[in-house]
Amino acid sequence: MYKYCLHCDWHASTSDGYTEREVSKEAIEHFVETGHTVDSLRLPPPVVVEN
Ligand SMILES: [Zn+2]
């Protein structure tokens, strides 16, 4: 799994030693902290944040 930010150069990948759960968690944290949209190269559930 590879997730990356559409607004800055943030990214997280299982190839960096993260588990898929950690990648998802990092992506959500990035979104929460910055409001940036995080996209994924594969087909795991997108980051969905409900107001
Ligand atoms: Zn970002």
How would you write the pLDDT of the chain (51 residues) with one tens digit per residue?
Answer: 899 999 999 999 998 899 999 999 999 999 999 999 999 886 555 566 677
* Structural domain span for residue 28: 2-40
Instruction: Give me ligand 1 centre to Cα 9, in Å.
Output: 6
Instruction: Give me ligand 1 centre to Cα 33, in Å.
Output: 9
Q: Residue 46 falls within a domain, yes or no?
A: no
The β-bridge partners of 40 are 3
- Residues near 18 by Cβ (< 8 Å), separated by ≥ 6? 12, 26
Q: Residues lining ligand 1 (ion), CB within 5 A?
A: 5, 7-8, 10, 34, 36
Q: Rounded CA gap, 27 and 2, in Å?
A: 10
Q: Residue 23 falls within a domain, yes or no?
A: yes
Instruction: Give me ligand 1 centre to Cα 1, in Å.
Output: 17
Please state the pTM of the whole predicted model.
Answer: 0.74
How many domains is the chain partitioned into structurally? 1
Q: Rounded CA gap, 17 and 48, in Å?
A: 24
Among candidates 27, 18, 19, which has minimal Cα distance to 45? 27
